[in-house]
Structure 1
């Protein structure tokens, strides 16, 4: 049985133009990426040695220089629309590289020069190199082992490379050769890190996540707990009613929304798949736990648990865990973290 989520549809030309227009508008910092730079940036992130959180990705897209400034969205709908386009593009690149790498092509711009259509690859390479710099320590082994895979990226994506290009005065044919090499380099790099991650899994090494500040933290495997013991995730619920939900096909019925996962054709109990994007979010001396999971079929479910054990569950599922995380961050950032925190009486809600 194939339990993979459906592939995200690629952005249409109209959607690419819509995203680019927003990024070039006065509502976005001058240091924001353009669409081609975003494409290179995301390609590096989904190909790299460690998991980069979507919130980290967005910070650098809005402000490629420092990862601090943010756009001024007109309303929550605009935020959801723009972030949704970016996340769909993330998923499209990730799906293509994982399932049909031969079809991967970088999104690069073109210009007319002396009657010829020339590829403009500076922005794409700069975005890819920015993706490397976020996790420089993780990328170091590959950069040392195969520097030739990064020749064009380094030449067109860094200040030192631009200086070298000026001194080299390469021919137009050489420029086009560099442009044509990008897709193959991206495929090679992605394949390298896929194999590396497999080896780390075989060695039972926990993956590393890169957070918004660039800090590297290992993803912790939750300790085992008895069915009636408190769940180690800190939700305040018994394990069998929290991360032990694989024991049952429905959530607690008291005071919260009930959701049922389909059983397999053999009739055995379903298994919950927990996303590594589940995490704790803290704002102004308080915090909540985001829990993102799905059954063996169907979309991803989003639940937010506060310090009092109150649980907020989204009625609708999400096509990907990245979209679920983006929705949670949107609500917390636009409406405030208190909007998903209940009272100390531990009542629960559904949205």
Structure 2
């Protein structure tokens, strides 16, 4: 069972993140990775973050994994609420997670283009449409979309995508989240 981070751990994690990266951005990024078309294991999330040029110590890695699992569990239970002191940063993080596997998101973009538009407009400066309520609804809807497609066996070529070819522990290149 995953133990969510406590306030002091969130503060420590925020202090460990690269300069200019806020927890809202990390939360959005992890929500996209957990919600996306391809199943991504926590170790792969760390690999993506490492490829962004960060040198993680064990404590930070543990906190990132725990937060990823918390986000994933909350999305699965349809109780996820974005950590959004900054709507714009959360949306930018989500879009960075989306960019890691952009081609696999095509079925969602074709059938529900407005969902991602909400996130894209929230990433603008200043945010156009990004309230916490709207982001909560969209994040849950996107996650549900991919869960249902996996349940029905649709887009089976997208289930593992490029991650299927990786050996255990191999890092995945991705767009940096800063």
TM-score (norm 2): 0.81
8 Å CA contact 1:59–1:70 kept in 2: the answer is no
Q: Aligned pair 1:84/2:68, yes or no?
A: no
Instruction: Summarize the Cα distance change of 1:57–1:205 in structure 2 as closer, same or farther, 3 Å threshold.
Output: closer
Shift of 1:150: 1.8
1:97 offset after TM fit, Å?
1.5
Residue 105 (1) aligns with residue 81 (2): yes
Q: Alpha carbons of 1:281 and 1:152: their partners in 2 closer, same or farther (altered >3 Å)?
A: closer
Aligned length: 170
Other-structure match for 1:123: 89
Of 19, 22, 25 in structure 2, the residue corresponding to residue 37 of structure 1 is: 25
* Secondary structure, aligned partner of 1:14: helix
**8 Å contact kept, 1:152–1:179:** no
> d(CA) in 2 for partners of 1:9 and 1:208?
27
Cα displacement string for residues 83-104 of structure 1 (whole angstroms, at most 9, x for unaligned residues): 1111111111111211x21x21
Q: Does the 8 Å CA contact 2:74/2:80 hold for their aligned counterparts?
A: yes
Higher share in helix: 2
Q: Is the 8 A contact 1:38 1:61 kept in 2?
A: no
Q: Hey, what's the Cα distance between the residues in 2 that align with 1:45 and 1:53?
A: 9
RMSD in angstroms over aligned alpha carbons?
A: 2.8
Residue of structure 2 in register with 1:179 after alignment: 132
CA 281–90 in structure 1, closer or farther in 2 if over 3 Å, else same: closer
1:59 Cα deviation after fit: 4.5
Is there any run of 5+ residues in structure 2 with no aligned partner, and where?
171-178
* Higher strand proportion: 1
Equivalents in 2 of 1:91, 1:190: separation in Å?
14
List 4+ stretches of structure 1 deviating above 2 A.
51-62, 203-207, 279-282
* Structure 1 residue matching 2:105: 3-state secondary structure: helix
Q: 1:48 to 1:9 in 2, by over 3 A?
A: same
The match for 1:9 is 3
Over residues 150-183 of structure 1, what are the superposed CA-to-partner deviations in whole Å (9 max), with x where a residue is unaligned? Answer: 22310133xxx43xx58xxx6xxx66xx332000
* Larger RCO: 1 or 2 (CA < 8 Å, sep 6+): 2
Larger Rg, first or second structure (1 or 2):
1
Matched, 1:22 2:6: no
- Structure 1, unaligned runs of 5 or more: 1-5, 74-78, 110-119, 210-215, 220-276, 283-351
- Structure 1 CA distance for aligned equivalents of residues 144 and 118 of structure 2: 18
